[in-house]
Amino acid sequence: MSASLADAAAFARSWLFDEALPLWAERGLDPAGGFHDQLDDAGQPVAAPKRARVQARQVMVFAEAGRLGWGGDWQAQVAHGLAFLRAQAVDGLAPTTFDPPGPIDLYDQAFVLLALSYDPGEDAVGEAGRLWRRLQQRFAGDPGFREPPPAPFPLQANPHMHLYEAVMAWRALKPAAPWREAAAMMRRLALETFVDPASGLLGEYFTADGESAADEVWPGHQYEWGWLLLHDAEGSASAQGVGERLIRLAGELGVDRAREAVVFSHRRDGRVIDGGARLWSQTERLRAVLAMQARHPREALWEAEALAAFATIRRYLETPGGGLYRDLMRPDGTFVAEPSKASTLYHLMSAFLVLFEAAR
């Protein structure tokens, strides 16, 4: 375990700048268009369909790398990803996969909206506004947006979570309508529909009228929603209180202390459904507990939680090739040997950005 947040941040920065970003910039980029979805342990692209979320997430990764001062050609990476997304759009929306186009869902549109916030061109402002209006037309519901058939659950928390992230990014750039209203809508959905007021736990799936449809909790998403609610500068004190409660409950019910890892899912009473531990869940734990550490600097618990979460993340980074990572830890603490998914780099970058700020 790192001795301090400064030590953890130094390791994370070195891993990003010296290993991950150079590798994914060279091997992850497809000169024919877009980014490869996976790299094997030798750092070579794996034949797999290109996903819209990967293209958008890599735009975010390299744009943030530029903000951090990475010396690679991050501008070219950003432009490459945005150009591919635009070229593949169908009626102004991104299909889940390309060649041939897959279905269109709300989740992937959230990431396209986020990617557009990293486009320095003024045209992106109008493009993002048109995309938001298009989503309202295609996925309209009350409350929130609805998944079209054959989705088994018409109202889902996960795509709204990433829409919350995207509209807050746009609100920071353009602090007026429609982005303030959009962020407020996502916040209300969390407080009034997705989070059960009695238990404080976050549901994932809901009926068309907003009733919970499954006894299933994803603690990684509890951390993620918790961080978003704390990060929302326009949220009330009660909204931030809900965010804190989500984070505390995720640590109480969702962390397997034997492995010091966040499980994938459990029931509302804490019984584990899926004891596998995905890397993205560990990064969301790190980001959320760092937010708690910033809010409660006198509570030693949160820095200890952050260092423990980072120590677990480092285990996922121990791969044959530098800049790669494992995605899934089994319940026995061993890892599934499989290609590294480009989509996970976004989660690592998101957590490390908060770590760097905490270390400062």
pLDDT of residue 177: 87
Which residues in the chain land under pLDDT 70?
none
pLDDT of residue 100: 84
How much is the pTM? Answer: 0.97
Q: pLDDT digits over 35-53, tens only?
A: 999 999 999 999 999 999 9
pLDDT of residue 335: 98
Give the alpha-carbon dihedral of 11, 231, 162, 275, to 10 degrees: 60
pLDDT of residue 143: 80
pLDDT of residue 325: 98
* Beta-bridge partner residues of 237: none
- Any idea what the CATH number is for the domain that residue 120 is in? 1.50.10.10
pLDDT of residue 99: 82
* Beta-bridge partner residues of 212: 206
The number of domains in the chain is: 1
What's the longest Cα–Cα distance across the chain?
Answer: 54
Domain span at residue 200? 5-359
Could you count the other beta carbons within 10 Å of the beta carbon of residue 122? 8
- Would you mind telling me the total number of residues written for the chain in this entry? 360
φ/ψ of 151, rounded to 5, equals -55, 130
Q: pLDDT digits over 84-141, tens only?
A: 999 999 999 999 999 888 999 999 999 999 999 999 888 999 999 999 999 999 998 8
